[in-house]
Structure 1
Amino acid sequence: MDAPTTPAAPVEQLAASSLLQLIWLASPALPVGGFSYSEGLEAAVECGEVTTESQAASWLSDQLQLALARGDLAVIAQAIPAWREGKLARIASLNAWVLQTRETSELRAQTEQMGRSLLEWLRNHEGASAAHIDACAALQPTYPVAFALAASQTAAGVRDCLLAYAFGWAENMMQAAIKSVPLGQSAGQRILARLSRDIPPAVEEALHLPDGERQAFSPMLAILSARHETQYSRLFRS
């Protein structure tokens, strides 16, 4: 007689639950306002730096590898275990780093607004403890740190959490490219396909990046973001 297989079911259910939680956190439908930001892309379109599908794909791929992987993703990779282990001093240090390295008022306003919104979402959902939510709220939370808190409540590994965050970012940025260049839906899907290929190596870099090698030095992006603050006509808040 074959051995019963029922003991494996709880493990499968746990994996499915974690996967669905990550899909939820990465969804553009999450009410944190990510759709309203282009992170400087709209300014790049305005000044003629990005005018085609190929240029948009290259711009976003560079941003993923040169900025996101070395900044936000690296912060999240450290913040998830810190939340799980209750290391609040470490969380505060990571949050302060994000705030200090946002190079324009628009980029800082974005991470603060999305962080607050995600924290409010967490208050209305099971998972994070009230103590951790209050500790996060006291920090003037940034989006990467708030996302790390939400992701830490799942049973997913840190790598999977980073993949979810990066894909959510890619979807939002692809939509920004479609609206601002503008491009068609098929072009948007090709851009998303390229970013999907670029995300795994970016995540691997973030996972192994020590504190001393995190960086947010993106001078052209900062210049474009600053220009966007006074841009005459715009669709996005950054």
Structure 2
Amino acid sequence: MQAAALLNLLQFASPALPIGAYSYSQGLEAALESGKVHNADTARAWILRHLHEVVAQWEAPVCWRLMQAWSRRDWSAASEWSERFIASRDSAEFRAETIQMGYSLTKLVAELNIVDADMLAQLQREPEVALPTAFACAVAALNIPHDAALLAMLFAWAENQVLVCVKSVPLGQVAGQRILLSLRADIEAAARHAQTVGDDDMCNWAPGLSLLSMLHEVQYSRLYRS
């Protein structure tokens, strides 16, 4: 990868990106409240199952297709996959999460002036912009290789899950980094799967996670927005 593309990727995959990713746990806080996650072993098991059964089966393949659509400037495909992703958010919190971060990233790329007029017009035509849609737009605008961008997206997701556990289980910083290091082979496998899975084999079926998200909406005390 060229240095410019790598630096662009590091910036747009950074947890310091001001889109609010740190404020969401994606159902993990409800799993902590219920006791399903309570130590390093259960935290790692939770992240692995979420990665392989949800993210690798749906979110990452959708992101992969969106990156391809944006790079080809296939606006019809970009809109279709964005609409499908938003429709797949089966709780109020999951839907609000992707819309809020998608809006924030859209605003950021516009203010940084990294997208051309056609790309910006396409983003603005969308009634609501999902986070993977805005991320794919930035990847295309900055000429970031898709395989590297997908790995960065998956790593950023895993890192955020680990940070939730560090703060809320709680785990020590070293324990959190140990979990993150142990996930590397699984992240690579998830990326490979996302690039090869067929449209008819993609799935976001995770009723237990959906129920936990709905329970989180009425959880009495919480730190995170999902």
TM-score, scaled relative to structure 1: 0.91
Q: Tell me which residue corresponds to 2:213.
A: 225
> Which residue number corresponds to residue 154 of structure 2?
166
Report the CA distance between 1:154 and its aligned residue. 2.8
Distance 1:110 1:63 in 2: 17
Deviations 1:84-108 (A, max 9, x none): 1111110111011111111100000
Q: Match for 1:216 among 201, 204, 214?
A: 204
- Superposed CA RMSD in Å reads 1.2
Structure 1 segment 24-63 matched on structure 2, within 5 A: 24-63=11-50
Q: 3-state SS of the aligned residue for 1:70? A: helix
Structure 2: gaps (5+ residues): none
- For each residue in 1:164-198, what CA deviation from the matched residue of structure 2 results, as whole angstroms up to 9, or x when unmatched? 11111111111111112111101110111122221
Residue of structure 1 equivalent to 2:187:
199
Q: In the alignment, is the contact (CA less than 8 A) between 1:25 and 1:164 conserved in 2? A: no
CA distance in 1, matches of 2:203, 2:117: 32
Aligned to 1:234: 222
CA distance in 2, matches of 1:137, 1:106: 23
Q: Which moved more, 1:200-209 or 1:126-135?
A: 126-135
Q: In structure 2, the residue corresponding to 1:31 is in which secondary structure?
A: coil
Equivalent-residue separation in structure 2 for 1:187 and 1:98 (angstroms): 33
Deviation at 1:208, TM superposition (A): 0.7
Question: What letter matches 2:59 in structure 1?
Answer: D
* C-alpha distance in 2 between matches for 1:61 and 1:151: 26
Matching residue of 1:8: none
TM-aligned CA deviation for residue 158 of structure 1: 1.4
Q: Give per-residue Cα distances to partners, 1:186-215, cap 9 Å, x unaligned.
A: 111011112222110100000011222221
Residue identity opposite 2:143 in structure 1: A
- How far does residue 135 in structure 1 lie from its aligned partner after superposition? 1.3
Aligned to 1:130: 117
Equivalenced residue count is 225
**Once superposed, which parts of structure 1, at least 4 consecutive aligned residues long, lie more than 4 Å away?**
none
The sequence identity of aligned pairs, in percent, is: 38
- For the 8 Å contact 1:116–1:137, the answer to whether it is kept is no
Query: Are the aligned partners of 1:38 and 1:237 in contact in 2 as well (CA < 8 Å)?
Result: yes
Q: Give, in whole Å, the separation in 1 of the partners of 2:100 and 2:124.
A: 12
Q: Are the aligned partners of 1:40 and 1:225 in contact in 2 as well (CA < 8 Å)?
A: yes
Tell me how far 1:16 sits from its aligned partner: 0.5
1:83 equivalent in structure 2:
70
For 2:22, the aligned partner's letter is F
Question: Quick check: 1:152 aligned with 2:140?
Answer: yes
Any residues of structure 2 matched to 1:181-200 within 5 Å, and which?
181-200=169-188
Equivalent residues of 2:116, 2:141 under 8 A apart: no
What does residue 108 of structure 2 align with?
121
Unmatched runs of 5 consecutive residues or more in structure 1: 1-13
Partner of 2:84: 97
Aligned-pair CA distance for 1:48: 0.7
Task: State TM-score, norm by structure 2.
Answer: 0.96
